Chains A and B, each alone.
Chain A
Amino acid sequence: MSLTNKLFHYDDLQAQFWRTDFPLLKSRVHDKPLIYLDNAATTQKPLAVIEAERNYYLYTNANVHRGIHSLSLQATEAYEHARTTAQHLLNAASSSEIIFVRGTTEAINLVAQSYGRSRLHSGDEIILSQMEHHSNIVPWQMLCQQTGATLRIIPVNDDGELRMEVFAGLLNEHTRLVAVTHVSNSLGTINPVAEIVAQAHRHGVPVLLDGAQAVAHLPVDVQALDCDFYAFSGHKLYGPTGIGVLYGKAALLEAMPPYQGGGDMIRSVSFAETTFNSLPYRFEAGTPNIAGAIGLGVAIDYLNNFDWEELLAHEQSLLTYAMQAMSDIPGLRIIGNAREKICILSFVLEGMHPHDVGTILDGEGVAIRTGHHCNMPLMERFGVPATARASFALYNSRHDVDVLVSAIQHAQEVFKQ
């Protein structure tokens, strides 16, 4: 390790400071300090988010959009305030374009079953990419079975980037939708989504972006991107599990049939006829995850306290440092070398299966993910059954990379014995 690596790093000290906002990061695992590097699976939560959910149940709990009583009004205000907060995070034109869902998976299923099922027919085509998470593959496969539409796949190059020249050729008069991920969950690749949207729109094709891995690491502006749908999960953005957002352009959402039927999504019901509520409520049947939405709002507020430039600089400097440190390990191969990527490092070690790596790293207090990361087609593309994946967040530092590297070296020693 070079001397400069050991020198004072401003952003590293910052991260050590930010880390104190997250109570769980004080934990020990196997009597070692926890080094949490599984942020692409889920991030830890700042105390403010944990307290927001707790306080909701302590002081505000009531059902929303129903009651005349004060508590119900307060709960409704807090819930709708969270919607406005999410609107501002994505820079959506209106809060009625923000639909609360369970997470990215439900958001994509909603679009597939509402938008897709009402419009797609036999012979139509949906374009996905080879790096999609299963949650952006399976809902479309189900839709294809229902409608007779087919999937077309944008391939990925050896560095883990979309082959845009192939994409251009896939767009044709049969294309009805493009659904791609903003950021790859196993490679870290940031896709050229603005370009994808522009090209698709030239063919009159709407685009859904899976923002699950993007929102905590990049500023997102749905109006600038001009995407038609954008989906993300709260729990990957330092928020609670079980809450997420589907953004959709109002004109598209207005024309879509409901996804689920029930309370809150109706205006009036008789046995003869039901009229549906306006946006966004038409897509929020049943009592929603009120506490989760409020927690998500607070998580977004927490993120808003940061200067994006500072955050991006920190995570990019961490990526550069980690890529260098990992490349120096003999027998380690990094899967995903895109020019534009966030701080996610998938790797395989010669002569070791990722699961053995994961077990030994856990013994050192280092939490990483091993397996196919819900990316089985992508694993096949790179000829590996699984990888080990270290994924970073704002509270990670160079120290965490150093511990990861020593833990990997320790794993190699165990296997050399």
Chain B
Amino acid sequence: MSELRELYQETILDHYRRPRNAGRLADANRVAEGYNPLCGDRIKLFLKVDDGVIRDARFEGNGCAIATASASLMTESIKGKRADEALRLLEQVHHMVAGGGSGGGVGKLQVLSGVHEFPQRVKCATLAWHTMKAALENVAVPVTTE
């Protein structure tokens, strides 16, 4: 199944095995949790936001390859971005994995596009992103994408 190879690309597996920005962020000023109880995917996201710019991002949690790689890739790509830019990126990623959009402008996040062929896995790929939105909007309750 070539769709499977598309889904589990080397980059995805690499970020699953060695997640970037894993761990807590001591000076975080925005924290949110994401939890998909049916899957068991769980993420806690720490952001340091100054003057509307995401200066640092780290996460901890437990999840499948797609959820973990998506969180890892996300923390890499939102660092240095303004909050509104990060939220626009969320829209583009969501459009790509859920709607089958081209993913133009998302850069290396394009590796997540294979998720589109697996509708039951969209919730895994988007959990970290919705958690970021919750962090930026100071939502206190855990978010879910199930």
Contact = CB atoms under 8 A, between A and B. Distances in A.
Interface stretch (B59-67, B81-89, B96-104, B131-139): B59-67
A355 interface: yes
Interface in A346-363: 351-356, 359-360, 363
B65 A353 contact: yes
Contact of A30 (B1, B10, B40, B64): B1
A111 to B, nearest CB: 26
B118 A385 contact: no
Q: Which of B37, B39, B124 has the most CB of A within 10 A?
A: B39
Given A30-B1, A385-B62, A356 B8 contact: yes
B8 A414 contact: yes
B4 A363 contact: yes
Interface residues of A, number: 19
Contacts of A371: 38-40
Contact of A372 (B40, B66, B68): B40
A408 B120 CA distance: 20
Contacts of B63: 353
A385 B42 contact: yes
B7 interface: yes
A18 interface: no
Interface in B85-122: 118, 120-121
Interface string B1-17: 10111011010010001
Interface in A163-200: none
Contact of B39 (A30, A376, A386): A386
A251 B8 CA distance: 59
Nearest to A30: B1
A85 B48 CA distance: 66
B144 to A, nearest CB: 14
A417 B13 contact: yes
Given A360-B4, A385-B42, A353 B64 contact: yes
A353 B8 CA distance: 13
Contacts of B37: 372, 376
A356 B64 contact: yes
Given A414-B4, A415-B8, A417-B13, A356 B66 contact: yes
Interface residues of B, number: 25
B44 to A, nearest CB: 14
A257 B8 CA distance: 56
B47 to A, nearest CB: 24
A407 to B, nearest CB: 11
Contacts of B62: 385
B121 A385 contact: no
A33 to B, nearest CB: 15
A376 B39 CA distance: 11
Q: Which of B38, B40, B63, B68 counts the most chain A CB atoms within 10 A?
A: B40
Nearest to A363: B1
A352 B63 CA distance: 10
Contacts of B120: 359
A30 B117 CA distance: 12
B14 to A, nearest CB: 10
A57 to B, nearest CB: 32
Contacts of A360: 4, 8
A386 B120 CA distance: 16
A137 to B, nearest CB: 15
Contacts of A353: 63-65, 68
A351 B17 contact: yes
A355 B124 CA distance: 10
Contacts of B4: 359-360, 363, 414
Contacts of B3: 363
A232 to B, nearest CB: 24
A355 B1 contact: no
A356 B65 contact: yes
Given A353-B63, A371-B39, A359 B13 contact: no
A309 to B, nearest CB: 39
B66 A386 contact: no
Interface in B11-34: 13, 17
Interface in A402-417: 414-415, 417
Interface string A360-398: 100100000001100010010000011000000000000
Contact of A359 (B17, B68, B118): B118
A355 B10 contact: no
A204 to B, nearest CB: 38
Q: Which of B4, B17, B124 has the most CB of A within 10 A?
A: B4
Contacts of B66: 355-356
A249 B42 CA distance: 45
B7 A359 contact: yes
Given A359-B120, A371-B39, 7 more contacts: A354-B64, A359-B7, A363-B3, A376-B37, A386-B40, A417-B8, A417-B13
9 contacts: A354-B64, A356-B8, A359-B118, A371-B40, A385-B42, A386-B40, A415-B8, A415-B13, A417-B8
